Each structure stands twice: as structure tokens, then as C-alpha cells.
Amino acid sequence: MLNNYSYQAALAASESIHWRVEDIIGGEKRLDFTRPFMPESLAQTEPLTFLSEEEKRILNQIRGNAYLCIFGLVEEFILPFVLDHARPQLRGDDFRVRALLKFASEEAKHIQLFKQFRMEFEDGFGTICNVIGPPEAIAAAILAHDPLGVAITTLHIEWMVQRHYLESIKDDQELDAQFKSLLKHHWVEEVQHAKLDTLMVEALAAGRTEAQIMSGVEEYLEIGGFLDNGLQQQVEFDLSAFEQASGRRLTETEAEEFRRVQLRANRWTYLGTGMTHERVLETLESLTPKARQRVESVSPAFC
Ligand SMILES: [Fe+2]
Ligand SMILES: [Fe+2]
């Protein structure tokens, strides 16, 4: 074990944070549609030089809405997964039970927060933007995998949130204030999830042979492939939402460029930033160096 994470410390940190969904969105707190919602490093609208500034902003906001939906989706599988992980040892370590239940309850709050923002988005944006789903079907497909593969996927997602916020969002002064506040409040609770999930991965790998660990790693990569298929579909949805919202029909060449740039942007946002996160790689390496090597052999396709 490389870290000094504990259920007790994660619980204490989590109990020191207090925010409610209604503190962040609703009432006077509205989205400002004159602003971008996503940082450029994730949205990657600038390479699409055939778009005007306004069209880039429209696409950026479409990507912001998809971000809400995709996080909504993944949190739908994380919530039952954490509850299932907690349940067999409810009479064990009290800090473990409380930390995991707090983790689950925060994810339930995040699901609601993302839904609330989506409603605000729908109200203000004026065009229906399709998103992959339904969440229950995606959650069921992911949860059908080896729990170790699911736990590594969750670990990837938790650290990915850290990276998005710290590297791209925190110092971006252009973003809409409400959207930035959502990302900040989400991040601050995800810090503890990343640590708890590291403990979950370690617990699920304990007692496994190297071959059994590697089979969990392969299942993580299968889940990644499944999400990647979803992202390809999402790019098509974003393209048609963009054409509808902007009233501009892209030429065949422009549409191809849109697909190429946006698929790369989506892959980096949801797959590359997690797969190459040093904390994810360190945890994999602590299970077996082969696990890290295997993921590192695949990750360039998503960066
Ligand atoms: Fe979350
Ligand atoms: Fe989380």
C-alpha cells in the first residue's frame, strides 16, 4: 500500500464540507448563456477554425450539457456499487460503514445536482440536445463486470474529476459562474471519494493472484471500450444539436473535422484524463506492475 488513506480521515474531511443543491442552482442563480461552460482543454472548440466565436460558444455549451449527463450516468452506477460494497460488512469497522454511506449519499446528491443543472440548461438553451443513455441501462451494463474492474473504473472517474478541476477549471475566469460553482462543489466532495475508492480497489484486489488482478484490469478496459462507443454516439448527437442550435449546416468536410476533433476531445475528457492520472497508475502498480503497464499500453489512443 502506497497511500495513508483511511476511512476515518475521509469521513472527517467529508463531514467538514456542507453544501446543498439549492445553494448552487435555482432562484436567482441562473446559467449565463453568454459565457462558456467548459474549459477549452476539454471542449476543444478552437481547432474548429471554420466556426465563428458564437458558434464555438454554442458547441462549448452543448459539451457542458453532455458533461452533466455523462456524470449523471456514471454516478448512477457508482451509487449502487458503493452501497453493495458497504453492505456485507455493516457490522465491521464503524468508520468504514459511515464513510462509504456518506460517499453514496454524496453521489445521490450529485445525481440530483446534475439533473437540476440539466433542467436549467433545457430552459435556457432553447434546443433539445440528445445524450447517450438511458442511465439505468448503462449502469446495468457496467455493473455486470468484475467488481475489481468496476472499482478501477470508479477510481478513474474520481481522479479524473480532480484533474478536470485543478488543471482546467479552477483558474479559468471565462466560465459561467454557476457552472464553475457546480464543478467546484462537485470536486470538493470527490476528493474524499478518490481516496475511499483507492481503499475499495485495494480491498477487492486483496487475496487475488496476479492473473485474477489482470482479469479485473481487462474488465476495466472493456468498460472503457463500452464508454468509448458511447462517446462516439455522443459526438453525433452533439453535431446534430450544434446544427440545430446554430442554424448552420456543416459541409461534409467540416462535419468530418468536427467529428475528428470532438471525438478526440471527448476521449481525452472522459478516458485519457483518468487513465493517465498518476494516482490511478500508482494504485494499479501497487496491485502489480503489469496492471500499470497494460493500461499505459492502451491509454495513448485516448490522449
Ligand atoms: Fe460525484
Ligand atoms: Fe464521486
Q: In the structure grid, which three cell numbers stand for residue 89, read together?
A: 460488512
pLDDT value, residue 2:
67
Of 82, 110, 109, nearest in space to 97 by CA? 82
- CA of 59 from ligand 1 middle (Å) equals 24
pLDDT value, residue 37:
98
Positive or negative, the CA dihedral 60, 61, 66, 71 is positive
pLDDT value, residue 27:
87
Distance CA 152, CA 204 (A): 10
- Helix, strand, or coil here: 76? helix
Q: Which ligand is nearest to the CA of 195?
A: 2
Of 124, 196, 285, 139, nearest in space to 294 by CA? 285
Q: Which residues of the chain have pLDDT under 50?
A: none
pLDDT value, residue 1:
57
- CA of 76 from ligand 1 middle (Å) equals 10
- CA of 33 from ligand 1 middle (Å) equals 24
Contacts of 135 (CB under 8 A, 6+ apart): 72, 73, 76
Give the environment of ion ligand 2: residues with CB less than 5 A.
Answer: 190, 193
